Amino acid sequence: MIATRLRQIFLLLFSIGVGALAFVQMFQRTTGSFPREYLIMLGVVVALFLVLWGLTVRFQPYASQSIIPCVLLLTATGVTMIARIDQSLGKAAAMRQLMWLCLALVIVAPLIIFLKDYRVLRRFSYVSMVVGLVLLLSPMLPVLGQEVNGARIWVKLPGLGQFQPGEFAKLFLAFFFAAYLFDHRDQLAVGGKKVLGLQLPRIKDLGPIIVVWFASMGVLIMQHDLGTSLMFFAMFVAMLYVSTGRKSWIIIGLIAFAAGAVLAAGLFSHVGQRVDAWLHPFSAEEYNKPYGGSWQLVTGIFGLASGGLLGTGLGQGHPALTTFANSDFIYASLGEELGLVGLLAILMMYLIIIASGFITAMKVKDGFGKLLASGLVFTMAFQVFTVVGGITLVIPLTGLTLPYMAAGGSSLIANYILAALLVIISNAANAPEPELTSDTFQYEALAVLRDKELKARAKATEEIIRPRSASAVSSAAPGEPYESGETGEFGKPDAPESALSEAIEAIEEPHGSHAAHAAHASHTVPSTAHGARSADEPGYRPYRDEPLDDDEPIIDITKQDPSRFDIPEPSTRTASLPPVPPVPPVPPVPPIPTIPTVPATPTVPTAPTVPATPSAPTINGGDRA
């Protein structure tokens, strides 16, 4: 354990050292000195990271310790590049980013301390759904909602500035999707017809994906935000595939979203312009458009090309030429000064976090934890893919930000909460199994066995024989059949008369509670409500011509109208029963005759001449000496 802790603190200190070296190199090349305000702020951030690591070791001892160092290194690299761009533009976005980082660490620390069992989030599944939808649709409010660059995805609070609520909505919707799919995974896993070798789901199971598709299209239509709608729909489809294991859900999801995106590109100019800029980025018409053209995209591509393999070096490039270089296009800015090697190192750190999350999802034994971990990790991975793919012309630009690196407080805080949840789930996944000899394990084993025993008893009591009426029992004389060709207890062949006597004695006992009354009625009462003929009809022979329906449910008559049943009053119930036949006296057993005592045979003396010994009496053909 000591070696593991030393390795973990070494990874954390290595990440801090690389970030500090990047800051020193960048400021030395741009300003020639290290600003004092940055020195103080970076010291506070380092102290908070060390405290967070200590809390993780104390309260989440089995958590994956590779997540926090990678997140720290990504954040340090992003803040360094934001400060580099501030030197060219004369802004202070890096200081604000460091403040947001301190707030994110303060918010994450209580989660590490108090959220020891992530399964409590399942209790608030529908609350999470409501909160997520409210956050997702809050930019549509007339006063608070703000539209920036054609997309209405911001909310401005007086005195606090503006933030992007969709970043927090993805967390709450992930909680809801995980709980819902965990509860309904069996129904969604059932397949329908096969088409071209693909097992399609049933029509009635397509409801959830249709609802989420309409919600995603609503975000795309009302907010003109292709990235957020694509992220939510992809997250739900991915979690649906994890819960069911059916590839048909992925194909149906891709087809549904492609159809919606094509429809939105034709209806909304904002989405259509991004698609045109992606298809024809280097055409003069698209490049020279005053708004919605490909100028920003092409500038970022030129920056990536100028970086080459090793980059121009921190502080020696021109990343500020690209619009939104510190947020939407920060990956292009990093590519210009760090080169292809630096970009691959950044992608490798993302890959370590994603791999740790998926390994956690595979190792955790709880189904809700599997879905939640896979959904959170896929959300982050998909966000990285859409940002990098949009900058490198793989897909159209979506407007999403790169996690942990792009400027923006809401994105930074939401992604730090996501990393904290992965740490908490990984602690449950890596925790050792309880010892077989421990008291806790034995207690849990006994509890499981007790539950199984109770379920077995409950299942055995469900198979109750359909009751017979008291009139049917009373109409039959003792020893005569009251069922067609049957005698004995409740129509069972060859039942002894003592069973009937015991049943009558049980009926004659006083009924002191409703439970005893219900038990008595369950053995003595059928009713005409089940199709039985009345006893007043001529030629009536109870249950002679009326077969029983074993599948018909047993009705609790204590909760029904008493007028529906042919139940005699307690005072007359005993009078309607046949008299108990007297038990014949048992004949006395004759005494066993006493066996006469056999006299002992005298000892034969040893002499030359032996006189003849008289013969002993014979008992049962044998001699006894």
Per-residue pLDDT tens over the stretch 336-395: 999 999 999 999 999 999 999 999 999 998 889 999 999 999 999 999 999 999 999 998
The pLDDT, as a whole number, for residue 108 is: 95
Residue type present at position 397: L
Beta carbons of 380 and 436 less than 8 angstroms apart: no
In whole angstroms, what is the distance from residue 272 CA to residue 278 CA?
A: 10
Say if residue 142's pLDDT is above 50. Answer: yes
Total residues found in the chain within this entry: 625
Six-digit token string for 582: 């007297």
Distance CA 301, CA 472 (A): 93
Please count the CA atoms within 13 angstroms of the CA of 470 that sit on its side-chain side: 21
Average pLDDT, the chain: 77
**Range with top average pLDDT, 35-44, 248-257, 425-434, 535-544:** 35-44
Q: How far is CA 612 from CA 605, 608, 621, 624, in A?
A: 12, 13, 22, 18
Decide if 31 contacts 84 (C-beta within 8 A). no
Across 15-121, the runs of DSSP E, i.e. the strands, are none
Spatial contact of 294 and 287, defined as CB atoms under 8 Å apart:
yes
The pLDDT value recorded for residue 95 is 93
- The pLDDT-based confidence of 483 (bands split at 50, 70, 90) is very low
Q: How many Å apart are CA 212 and CA 234, to the nearest integer?
A: 10
Inter-residue contact 193 to 200 (CB < 8 Å): yes
Looking at residue 144, its pLDDT comes to 79
Q: Are 403 and 394 in contact (CB under 8 A)?
A: no
**pLDDT at residue number 378:** 93
How high is the pLDDT of residue 272?
A: 79
Mean pLDDT of 1-11: 85
Question: pLDDT, tens digit, for every residue of 212-257?
Answer: 777 777 777 777 777 788 888 888 888 888 888 888 888 888 888 7
Q: Would you say 391 and 385 are in contact if contact means Cβ atoms under 8 Å apart?
A: no
Higher pLDDT, 75 or 286: 75
- Total-model pTM: 0.69
Comparing 49-63, 161-175, 185-199, which segment has the lowest mean pLDDT?
A: 185-199
User: Tell me, what's the pLDDT at 250?
Assistant: 85
Alpha helices in 245-313 (DSSP H): 247-267, 269-279, 284-287, 295-307
Nearest to 422 by CA among 41, 65, 37, 149: 65
Please indicate whether residue 557 or residue 265 has the higher confidence score (pLDDT). Answer: 265
What's the rounded Cα separation, in Å, for the pair 469 and 567? 8
111-115, 194-198, 326-330, 589-593: least confidently modelled range: 589-593
Mean pLDDT of 139-160: 75
Task: Compute the distance between CA of residue 312 and CA of residue 335 in angstroms, rounded to an integer.
Answer: 9
For 507-551, the pLDDT digits (tens) are 444 444 444 444 444 444 444 444 444 445 444 444 444 444 444
For residue 441, pLDDT over 70 is answered with no
Smallest CA-to-CA distance from 478 within 585, 572, 577 is with: 577
Q: Is the pLDDT of residue 61 over 70?
A: yes
Closest of 47, 46, 53 to residue 68, by C-alpha: 53
pLDDT at residue 474 above 70?
A: no
